[in-house]
Amino acid sequence: MIQFRLRGMIATAKREARMIKADKNILLIIILAPLFYAFFYTAIYYHKVELKPAVILVDEDHSSLSRQLLRAYETSQYLDVYVYPGPGSAQKAMEDLDGMAIIRIPAGFQSDRQSGKRVTVSLYLNNAYFLVSNDINKAVNEVTATFGAGIKLKILESKGENREQALAHIDPISVRSHALSNPSESYGNFMIPALFILVLHQTLLIGLSESMADERATRSLGELYRTAEGSTWALVMGKGSFYLVLYCAYAVFFLTIGLTFFNLQVAGSYLALAVLTVLMILSVIYAGIFLASFFTRKIVALQILAFTTYPIFLASGYSWPEGSMPVWLQWLANLFPGTPYFQGFSRIVFLGADLEHVLPELFHLLLILALGITATRLRLPKIAKWQAEHY
Amino acid sequence: MTKKPRSPWVQIAIREWNRILERKTYWLLMVILPPVLTVFIGSIYLKGSVTDIPVGIVDLDQTPLSRMLIRAIDDSQALSVEGHYLSVTEARQALLFGRLQTIVVIPDGLTSDAKSGRPGSVTVLKNASNLLYSNSVTKEISTIVRTVSAGILVRRFEAKGQQPDQALASADPIKVDTHGLYNPTYNYEQFLIPSLLAMVLLLGVMVVSVLVIADEFREGTWQEVLDLSGSDWLVIFSGKSLPHLFIHGLQSVVLVFFWFHVFGIHLSGSAAGAVFLLFLLISAGFFLGMAVSCWIHDEFLSTEVAIFFNTPAFIFSGLTFPLWAMPGLHQGFAGILPFTHFLRAWVKLAVMNTPADSWLGDVLILGGFSLLGIVLSLLFLYQSTRPGFVIEEAHPEVVV
């Protein structure tokens, strides 16, 4: 029995290789697209961080203290400061997106400070762009806090403390922040590994679905079953083995050379990553074959599955926490192989997780795989029988 | 009285309308998928902001001050104390299992150091891979510790004889008064939903529009179109475009209705402006898709072209990662995508509600894409309607 199945699987795999070789559309999706997309999309984040965002500064005080603060902002490596004469021109520049924030030093800044009053610097952030707004907010607060520490130092010295005492007293408790992953806290480091995986996931899903939909369109399911010696397992594994080998090779390439190209590396266990990735690819193979069994033409598979890229990624919990989504959506998202995969993947790649740390995700993927096997086992013989009866 | 025969233009439009109604794929792409994806993607961000980020505490100080810090962390809406650990090693294990996102270590002697005037520090070990978590954690914990620290300094200045107001001004001499414009609460639903859904709508429009002419060649019905229109390329173009633009126009109205009434999206600009801009985007997508369809009669290749240009449109738009930070090649590619210009105009017109002179340029560029699509479509159609044009062999397959 096992011998028959293996023979059927090998025959199906050979048939699939011949079919792909003759089909330029599938070749484009599974050979050219993964390599092109993987590097073209990820290269968006080649610089990793958003360099120095433009910030508009309006100095209404024109005092020596305000100029000192202005210089402090200008020397920040995170800000590109442009001085504007007044609020009107500053607002216009913000409306034209020439600057992403306005810093306003009010009139009376120096005189208020000299009379011992607490002074305020206003910061107007363009929150229509989150990443830039967050970075400007962080940088302006850091520069202002450092500038304020200088003032506190002078106050403490004026109260009779020496420099050493004053330095010890300006900040009784501080925060020492240490990033356990992505030390530069760059958006690029976060997105690049995920994009590699998303390209793998989607080109595999679309390419294999096209191949399976073509079997339906050309009414060759009966012949496919005969090649697989009547076994659904041999059919799926035979058809899928070509993709399994190809996509495992892509995964090795992307997660080693690809990441190294962007100065990234896997912090955790390669074994855990390999097991998780093989399971994800297998799950996508079964999901692809099952989904494609509903498409009667190859192009329909491409048209519909092209829409799944964003939903699969956004619902995976990689960028937006799964717990913050409605419960029905969490249940639905948990049916996608990408959901457990991305969760385990991010802990292995960024935090250094080992196999034991991602066991829940491995079991989750196994469950999805079992579901895929059951669904294809029930669905494929049914449509093959229908085709045999009708054509 | 004999009934006046319908003009070729009306006949082509009615024929196209019937083709849309008869084809399941068109229905799926134009009527079913957009609302399904709207509900799916829209629901992901319904909560708007991230709350209760799991934090693990390693309290080696065990004093009222350390307990006060822990309470403040737990009281923060963004953070939630998930567990107390005896060591950093133990807490790191919880982090690797995905139970925590951040570890806060309060060192032994923090209180005694604060009392004796020695500076102390609270260590935050964070998973910075996800900036959403990392930024929230940094902001919240820094604010909490800075407030506690300023309190200690205020008491120290008061002990030196300063009045409470003066002491506060000495402990925290400069305050940054932050105003978050256009989305003050950093609400992700407001930030992402309109643009993400507009992108999905555009993808749908283009995937359908690249079939408008290509499908006629695949099904072998191009001669029928030529006969009905009298080989008039202008009649074919306008008659085929109208039903699609009508349906897509309706879609943009429905989409804006969804934003306002289902997802509670707040737009500073007018709803009419939002619909106008969406329709402009749809037109650009439709006419460019139509041009591809008139040029490439292989429906598979034309669909791949549409997907190639539209799938990455969101990440190239500059909304989540600014354009100026991308390499030059990518900035150039972003520039040839209508969505990039739509988004810039969208942010100004609908989100920031700025005067017309700030968004007019972007709107004109978006209109330029439509014009380019129209001109190219007409050029290619002119070629396909000339008397000597050879119609390729049809590949009818199953019509769905």
CATH of the domain at B137: 3.40.1710.10
In this predicted model, what pLDDT tens digit does every residue of A118-165 receive, in sequence order? 999 999 999 999 889 999 999 999 999 999 999 988 888 887 888 888
Verify that B154 and B233 share a domain, yes or no: no
B74 and B219 share one domain: no
Mean pLDDT of B128-150: 90
* Nearest in space to B376 (alpha carbons), one of B282, B288, B284: B288
CA–CA distance, A73 with A145 (Å, rounded to integer): 11
Same domain, B151 and B260: no
Question: Can you tell me the distance from the alpha carbon of A139 to that of B46, in angstroms, rounded to the nearest whole number?
Answer: 30
CA distance A350 to B96: 10
Q: Locate A117 and state its tokens.
A: 């009053």
- Give the single-character DSSP code of A268: S
Q: Do B210 and B303 fall within a single domain? A: yes
Tell whether B31 is within 8 A of chain A (Cβ). Answer: no
**Same domain, yes or no: B357 and B280:** yes
DSSP state string for B140-165: HHHHHHHHHHHHHHHHHHHHTT--HH
User: Residue A3 — very low, low, confident or very high, per pLDDT cuts 50/70/90?
Assistant: low
For residue range A164-191, list pLDDT tens digits in order: 888 878 888 999 999 999 888 889 999 9
B86/B233 same-domain check: no
CB within 8 Å of chain B, chain A residues 91-120: 92, 95-97, 113, 116-120
Give B399 or B95, the one with higher predicted confidence. B95
Stretch(es) of chain A classified as CATH 3.40.1710.10: 54-169
Q: What integer pLDDT is reported at residue B400 of this predicted model?
A: 36
Q: Does residue B127 share a domain with residue B209?
A: no
Contact of A5 with A171, CB cutoff 8 Å = no
Q: Is the pLDDT of residue B204 over 70?
A: yes
In this complex, the residue of A25, A140, A319 whose CB is nearest that of residue B132 is A319
Q: Do B47 and A141 touch (CB under 8 A)?
A: no
- A175 Rama sector, left if φ>0, alpha if ψ -120 to 50, beta otherwise: beta
Q: Does B94 touch chain A (CB under 8 A)?
A: no
Residue B61 structure tokens? 């100080």
State the CB neighbour count (10 A cutoff) for residue B165: 11
- Topology of the domain covering A54-169: abc type-2 transporter like fold (3.40.1710)
Q: What is the DSSP letter of B265?
A: -
Instruction: Check whether B397 has a pLDDT greater than 60.
Output: no
Mean pLDDT of B130-138: 88
Instruction: Answer whether residue A4 shows pLDDT above 80.
Output: no
A163 interfacial to chain B (CB closer than 8 Å) = no
pLDDT mean over B246-256: 87
pLDDT computed for residue B396 by the predictor: 55
Closest-CA residue in chain B for A100? B181
- Residue B1's pLDDT band, with cuts at 50, 70 and 90, is low
| DSSP-assigned states of every residue in A163-194 | HHHHHHHS-SEEEEEEESS-TT--HHHHHHHH
B60 shares a domain with B156: yes
Q: How far apart are CA A359 and CA A350, in angstroms?
A: 17
B85 is in which domain, residue-wise? Answer: 53-171
Calculate mean pLDDT across residues B266-286. Answer: 91
Asked whether the beta carbons of residue B207 and residue A306 sit closer than 8 angstroms, the reply is: yes
| Alpha-carbon dihedral A133, A134, A136, A138, rounded to 10 degrees | 160
A306–B196 CB contact, under 8 Å:
no
Total count of domains within chain B: 2
Cβ within 8 Å, pair A350-B304: no
> In this predicted model, what pLDDT tens digit does every residue of B20-78 receive, in sequence order?
999 888 888 888 888 899 899 999 998 888 889 999 999 999 999 999 999 999 999 99
Token digits of residue B242 = 């109208």
**Considering only CB atoms, which chain A residues are within 8 Å of B46?**
325-326
Tokens of residue B390, six digits: 């050879």
- Under 8 Å CB pairs connecting chains A and B tally to 314
Shared-domain flag, residues B322 and B218:
yes
Q: What is the pLDDT of residues A270-303, one digit of tens each?
A: 999 999 999 999 999 999 999 999 998 889 999 9
Residues B255 and B359 in one domain: yes
* Pairing status of strand A80-84 against strand A54-59: parallel
| Mean pLDDT computed over every residue of chain A | 92
Q: Which of residues 253-282 of A touch B (CB under 8 A)?
A: none
Residue A152 near residue A170 (C-beta atoms within 8 A): yes
**Digit-coded pLDDT (tens) for A346-379:** 999 999 999 999 999 999 999 999 999 999 999 9
Q: What order of strands is seen across the sheet that includes strand B120-126?
A: A173-179, B120-126, B102-106, B53-59, B79-84
Do the domain assignments include residue B1? no
| Rounded average pLDDT over A85-93 | 94
Q: Chain A 213-242, CB below 8 Å of chain B: which residues?
A: 217
- What is the structure's pLDDT at B394? 60
Residue type at A276 in one-letter notation: L
Residues with Cβ < 8 Å from A64, sequence gap 6 or more? A110
d(CA B364, CA B369): 9
Q: What is the pLDDT of residue B224?
A: 93
CB contact under 8 A, B122 and A173: yes
User: What does the pLDDT read at residue A1?
Assistant: 58
> What is the C-alpha to C-alpha distance for residues B368 and A22, in angstroms, rounded to an integer?
40
Same domain as B360, residue B227: yes
pLDDT above 50: residue B398 = no
The stretch A81-106 carries a mean pLDDT of 95
A204-256 per-position pLDDT tens digit:
999 999 999 999 888 888 889 899 988 888 999 999 999 999 999 999 999 99
